[in-house]
Structures are given as structure tokens and as C-alpha cells.
Amino acid sequence: MADEPTGFAELPWDTGQSALMGPCSTMPKIYQTPGGRDFQVPGRPPDVFNHPDGTAEFSCARSLHVGGIDWNPRLILLDGRLVAYQFTVERAYDDLRAIALQRFGPPASVKTEQYRTGAGIPIDGEVLEWRWPGGTWAILSERFSRISTTSLLVGTRAYSEHLAKRRQGQLEKSKKSF
């Protein structure tokens, strides 16, 4: 197995939100109009979406070239610190799988999950999981949200604990509804 991921690109886990804004901002662009004046669109930081559970997320302008297209990651923050990132791509599972295997090595587990299309037709999707001793993990899902969408989610122990706590809270709320 490859070395444990230490963050996204050169941005380590637990990097604060303000330190992420610069590297994840869009670059200014200059547009040239034949016979007219050039104009510049300024770069800007990403829009941050805060969630009631204490997490926040935003799309980072850094991209990964997968399946002939550049895809931007979604960075996930917990209490204002980087704890996970996710690449979601359309119709490029084999390419994203090859990148993940090259970066992370052989997965700790490979399984198949069954999904249903909107028409009710069952289809299978591969799920690869990696786990490291420090608590970092990665999950590559061939099918995510929509049937043609693939997702690679890489997270930390702190994010896992947060998700488990959130699931427990949802379970307790469901029990009270009975």
C-alpha cells in the first residue's frame, strides 16, 4: 500500500479555511475581442457552503484531468479545517480508478454494490476502499448519486468520527419518531 495521504495536493490535513482560499481561488482571465478592447475578469475565492452539522465545503479551482476533462475537487472542512476532499466525475470511472490505484496502491477491499436505474433496472458498481494506520481512508465508488457518476472521497479520522456521530444522531431522531 502506498503512503498515507497527508492532505490535498500540498495542502495538509487541518489546514485552516483562510489558508485554503488563496490556492483554491480562480485565476484572473483576460478576454480578447477582435477589433475591441481586451477585458479582464478578476480571480475570486470559492464560495463556501456552511452546513448546520459544523461542516463546510467548497469547490477548489485546482483540477484533476480525468477522462479528457478537468474536474475540480470539493474540499470538506470541519470546524474550519480541511478533513476530506472529493472528486466527482461523469463517465470516467476507469480513468479515476487508474489514478487512485497509482496513488494509493492496491485497495484494502473491493466489493460490488447493486443500484437501480430510474427505470428500475439493476446494475452493479465497484467500490474500492483503502485504509491507513493513521485513520485516513479513501473510497472510490463507481456509481455515486447518479448512475453515470463516479466519486473518489478521501478523508481523515476526524471526518469519520464526525460522520459516525451524525449517523448516530439521525438514528436517535428516527427512533423517537416511532
Its pTM stands at 0.84
Residue 116 reports pLDDT greater than 80: no
Query: Could you report the per-residue pLDDT of 138-156, keeping only the tens digit for each?
Result: 999 987 666 678 899 999 9
For 72-82, how does the pLDDT look when each residue is reduced to its tens digit (9 = 90+)? Answer: 999 999 999 99
Alpha-carbon dihedral sign for residues 104, 107, 108, 112: positive
Confidence of residue 163 (pLDDT cuts 50, 70, 90): very high
What's at 47, amino acid-wise? D
What is residue 81's predicted lDDT score, i.e. its pLDDT?
97
Q: What is the DSSP string of 37-96?
A: --EEEPP-PPPPEE-TTSEEEEE-S--EEETTEEEPPEEEEETTEEEEEEEEEES-HHHH
Span 86-114, pLDDT tens digits: 998 888 889 999 999 999 999 999 999 88
Structural element, H or E, at residue 161: helix 157-177
Dihedral angle at the C-alpha atoms of 4, 6, 10, 14, nearest 10 degrees? Answer: 170
Grid cell listed for 98: 487508474
